[in-house]
């Protein structure tokens, strides 16, 4: 049943949002992010934006769903790399910065179902899909943390 929800979400995104580029990508040019440690990476900023959108129902519904979905997919790639103990330096940098900030912010959002339904015109089914995507992303984040610990992976030098 879970795959049907993800399939429905994917179909909805494909039809409604189209094939727009992701808001962020883990495959970024390393030179672009040779910054001070204190400066947040775009993916960390995007998590904060997603949290704000979930809590205040700002922006548009399609990009919100797309942002959550894209983040989950990026985490899935990170998980596969970490599980094989072959994660690129930039992906590890993203993970450790997210971890140091308390994990993905949007997973801690207080979601107001009624506000999402009213603002975006969503049904209860679509709101439930959001919850399912957030639960699945949290599960994936927990798996990544276990794999990082299992392989004793430390933050890469910046």
Separation CA 16–CA 95 (nearest Å)? 30
Mean pLDDT (the chain) is: 82
Separation CA 73–CA 25 (nearest Å)? 10
Q: What is the pLDDT of residue 143?
A: 97
Q: What is the pLDDT of residues 23-72, one digit of tens each?
A: 344 444 444 444 444 588 888 899 999 999 999 998 899 999 999 999 99
User: Residue holding tokens 């979601």?
Assistant: 111
Q: What is the pLDDT of residue 14?
A: 53
Domain range annotation of the chain? 2-17+40-150
Torsion of CA 21, 23, 26, 28, to 10 degrees: 80
Q: What is the pLDDT of residue 23?
A: 38
SS3 135: helix
């Amino acid at each position: 049943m879970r795959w049907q929800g993800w399939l429905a979400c994917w179909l909805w995104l494909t039809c409604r949002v189209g094939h727009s580029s992701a808001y962020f990508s883990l495959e970024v040019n390393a030179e672009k992010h040779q910054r001070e440690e204190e400066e947040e990476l775009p993916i960390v900023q995007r998590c904060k934006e997603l949290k704000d959108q979930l809590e205040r129902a700002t922006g548009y519904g399609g990009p919100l769903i797309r942002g959550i979905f894209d983040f989950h997919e990026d985490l899935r790639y990170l998980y596969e790399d970490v599980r094989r103990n072959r994660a690129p330096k930039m992906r590890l940098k993203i993970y450790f910065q997210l971890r140091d900030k308390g994990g993905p912010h949007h997973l801690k959002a207080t979601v107001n179902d009624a506000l999402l339904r009213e603002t975006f015109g969503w049904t209860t089914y679509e709101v439930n899909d959001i919850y399912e995507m957030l639960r699945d992303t949290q599960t994936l984040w927990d798996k990544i943390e276990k794999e990082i610990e299992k392989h004793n992976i430390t933050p890469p030098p910046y």
